[in-house]
A and B are shown apart, each in its own frame.
Chain A
Amino acid sequence: MDNGVGFFGVLGLVMLSTLFSIGGGNGQVAMIQGQWVSNGLLDPALFAWAFALGHFTPGPKVSFVTAIGYYMAGIPGAIAAMIGIVIPTSLGASLASHWYQRFQRIINHVSISASMVIAGMMSTAAIGLAQPLDPSWIELTGIALVTFLVVWRRPDPVLIVLGSGVVGAVVWFAGSALSG
């Protein structure tokens, strides 16, 4: 975990990334991928595992940032990630409740383009996550199939994660059997 990020590094990025979570867009994924995964500070597999954990566990899916914080800076990093989510969210929720009518016009205005911006950010995260893996054409086909399935049927993400894991295990066992 000697990556020079530390408690305040985790706190700062998670707080900033929370601002890109309009409509459940999960801007954190893109921000963390862009800042830590693409810079080699966090392994793509650990990043993906943390993201998967957020879908396997109860409550808000954003709890995956706790695992990211842990991977970056140990237990203090996990605590920093939680604080980084709680502070801006509690402020935003309170302000939205208190001054909703005053902010309604601005929120409505920004939220129209926000979904496209977040779509772009998620695409960036996806491509950035795949790049270091250097996927083969078979793996690229698999990615395309999953993308199509998600758009077509919108399955529970847990099924995608479980299914991908099973495929990986089957391929590994098949490879071991063939080589052994």
Chain B
Amino acid sequence: MNSTEPGNLSAKTTEAAGPVVPATPVTLLSLGLVFLKMGALTFGGMWAAISRIEADLVHKRGWISADTQRAMMITAALIPAPKFLAFGGMVGYRLRGFPGSVVSLVCLMIPGSLLVLAGAMLLRQGAEGTLLAAVQHSITLGIVGLLLGNAANMAQSSRLKGWRLFAGIFIAVMIPLMTLVFGVPLLVMALLGLVSGAIVIRPEQESDDHG
């Protein structure tokens, strides 16, 4: 199976397996500095930064191959963790084991977190009737629209069809309904959704094989 074949995700994702000793030793300091720079200079999340990441980790330093990078990105999007950080952690683990994982994702997070913290310290809640309060109110409404739009896009990305789509929509609708109307804790509904979804919505090929 050719791992560079376009769309061959399973082949690519298996490349993410296991720690690999790189040809050139990588120190924790150099690993940290690279991810610190990445955290300070990339905008728009992991997928938006793919070219910059490839230029730095693949072409400039040769720490990982382009295929490995893509495999790690796909894996990072599948595990329960913020995907950009998970990618950083996977690269760190591949190069320096668990300490490398911690160092790379801490350094990836520090620049943005410090700026966010500065922004939070500078701007508090505006008093009613002020310009600040009006702007914060409209930004909140904008974010409500953004979240609803992202929820719709997330549902579309599942690529479910037929009765699987129906089951998926049912789960997606039951979560806000039960949480907001009947007061069921969100965590309980999320876990119920994951478990029932895993039981009912089986992978297409496996389900088809069993009729």
Residues of A within 8 A of B171 (CB): 113, 116-117, 120
Docked pose: A76 CA to B152 CA in angstroms: 35
The contact of A90 among B102, B155, B189, by CB within 8 Å, is: B102
B22 adjacent to chain A (CB < 8 Å): no
B58 adjacent to chain A (CB < 8 Å): no
B62 adjacent to chain A (CB < 8 Å): no
B14–A93 CB distance below 8 A: no
Docked pose: A47 CA to B131 CA in angstroms: 18
- Interface residues of A, dominant DSSP: helix
Docked pose: A126 CA to B137 CA in angstroms: 14
Chain B interface residue count, Cβ-Cβ cutoff 8 angstroms: 110
Residues of B within 8 A of A131 (CB): 180
Residues of A participating in the B interface, judged by any CB pair closer than 8 Å: 16, 18-27, 29-31, 34-35, 43-54, 56-64, 66-67, 70-71, 78, 82, 85-86, 88-90, 92-94, 96-101, 104, 107-131, 133, 135, 139, 142-151, 154, 156-157, 160-161, 163-165, 167-169, 171-173
Residues of B participating in the A interface, judged by any CB pair closer than 8 Å: 10, 13-14, 16-19, 38-46, 72, 75-90, 92-94, 97-98, 101-102, 105-106, 108-109, 111-113, 115-117, 119-121, 123-126, 131, 133-158, 160, 164, 168-169, 171-176, 179-180, 185-187, 189-190, 193-194, 196-198, 200-203
